[in-house]
Amino acid sequence: MGDFRYEREALDPIGATILEIPAETDAEFAEAARNADAVIAPGRRITAEIIEGLDKCVVIGLSSVGADTVDVEAATKKGIVVTNVPDVFVEEVADHTMALMLSAARRLKLMAQLMRTGNWREARPVFNDVPRLWGQTVGLISFGNIARAVARRCQPFGLHVIAYDPFVSELTMTAEGVEPVGLMEMLERSDFVSMHAPLNAETRPLMKAEHFAAMKSSAIFVNNGRGPTVDETALIAALEDGEIAGAALDVFEVEPTNPENPLLHMDNVIVTPHVASATARMMPETRRRTGREIATALQGGWPRSAVNPEVLPRTKLRRWQPYPMNRGPNR
């Protein structure tokens, strides 16, 4: 049996039993999980077929920010709450975003290559056309928890931050010292464009050829979010054609990406293998949170984070969280 010690911290006290299902197909999994009260499925996509076969399930728990491994629409239709962990590794991903951004700005991949090949004196001229970091503009696509943490990190470097997110109040952005703008304006003005959008039908992909064409030829594109939010073919073409100056990527359209992917072999592209959230704390804490969310739902309460909150009023779960009082007349 797998190691569920972190989930058990919350599930054992309520008498929950964890049953592993060694199913090869969705149909096998659905049949075995038919009477489950909750589902945790690391490494398996929870499809509409599986969800339709769940007769007693109250909650599906994810140990991730993204929920693209679950058919959320099918879960909502079935009246099942889907939970995630949107705030556990925010700081880690923001740190990695800054690390990649700064590495790309200072051309560290190229610098290391010149050192290894004995071309020491060729390094300094590379920066003849590279401006200093201070005063440059960072554009954020989406303004969720991670983007906000990135914005806070940008400011001590003297970077001006602008952001596009049609679902976030302008006051939320300006409170963080961030200028709200439209998507195309953000692309046209930014020296760095950092992708933080969730993956859904509207964002698969969000960045296409016309968006890269709108960017400055000196701009750098950064993605520590979700790979399929970017048309990778368009990104490769933009880099090859000089439409943008470089890229820094932790995620790819298909993962693991093919070792022959051109992005892995460009001097002006820095890559890492989807490790932005990885630290010693990440795995235990995300699994603890998943266990707590499931335990809360199994005891009849609303989870702390629901990917599909619209389903909550249709369930028998009770709201225990206080109602926010910061909105009203003249707010």
So what's the pLDDT on residue 331? 43
- Please name which of 9, 8, 51, 11 lies closest in space to residue 29, comparing C-alpha atoms: 51
* Euclidean distance between CA atoms 297 and 316, whole angstroms: 10
Average pLDDT, the chain: 95
So what's the pLDDT on residue 208? 98
Is 330's pLDDT higher than 80?
no
Sign of CA dihedral 54, 283, 294, 200: negative
Q: 43-58: b or e for each residue (b if 16 or more CB lie within 10 Å)?
A: eeebbeebbebbeebb
- pLDDT-derived band at 279, boundaries 50, 70, 90: very high
- pLDDT-derived band at 327, boundaries 50, 70, 90: low
The pairing of strands 179-180 and 160-164 is parallel
Q: What is the DSSP annotation of 166-198? A: TTS-HHHHHHTT-EE--HHHHHHH-SEEEE-PP
So what's the pLDDT on residue 254? 97
- In sequence order, the 6+-apart residues with CB closer than 8 A to the CB of 298 are 14, 16, 37, 38, 58, 59
Is residue 127 within 8 Å of residue 145, measured between CB atoms?
Answer: no
Is residue 144 within 8 Å of residue 169, measured between CB atoms?
Answer: no
In the structure, how many helices (H) and strands (E) does the chain have? Answer: 12, 10
Active site residues: 226, 255, 274
Is 126's pLDDT higher than 90?
yes
Tokens of residue 265, six digits: 């072999």
CATH 3.40.50.1820 fits 90-271, yes or no: no
Q: 270-283: b or e for each residue (b if 16 or more CB lie within 10 Å)?
A: bbbebebbbeeebe
The predicted-structure confidence for 84-102, as pLDDT tens digits, reads as follows 999 999 999 999 999 999 9
So what's the pLDDT on residue 326? 62
So what's the pLDDT on residue 323? 80
Domain residues of the chain, as ranges?
Answer: 5-87+280-314, 90-271
CATH architecture of 5-87+280-314: 3-Layer(aba) Sandwich (3.40)
- pLDDT-derived band at 328, boundaries 50, 70, 90: low
Is 30's pLDDT higher than 60?
yes
- Please name which of 301, 266, 278 lies closest in space to residue 224, comparing C-alpha atoms: 278
Tokens of residue 318, six digits: 């009770």
Sign of CA dihedral 27, 256, 284, 85: negative
The predicted-structure confidence for 47-74, as pLDDT tens digits, reads as follows 999 999 999 999 999 999 889 899 999 9
Q: In what order do the strands lie in the sheet with 38-40?
A: 38-40, 59-61, 81-83
What is the mean pLDDT of the segment spanning 303-320? 95
- Please name which of 137, 310, 158 lies closest in space to residue 215, comparing C-alpha atoms: 137
Is 18's pLDDT higher than 70?
yes
* Euclidean distance between CA atoms 53 and 76, whole angstroms: 14
* Predicted TM-score of the model (pTM): 0.90
Q: Is 86 helix (H, G, I), strand (E, B) or coil?
A: coil
Is 329's pLDDT higher than 70?
no
The predicted-structure confidence for 132-154, as pLDDT tens digits, reads as follows 999 999 999 999 999 999 999 99
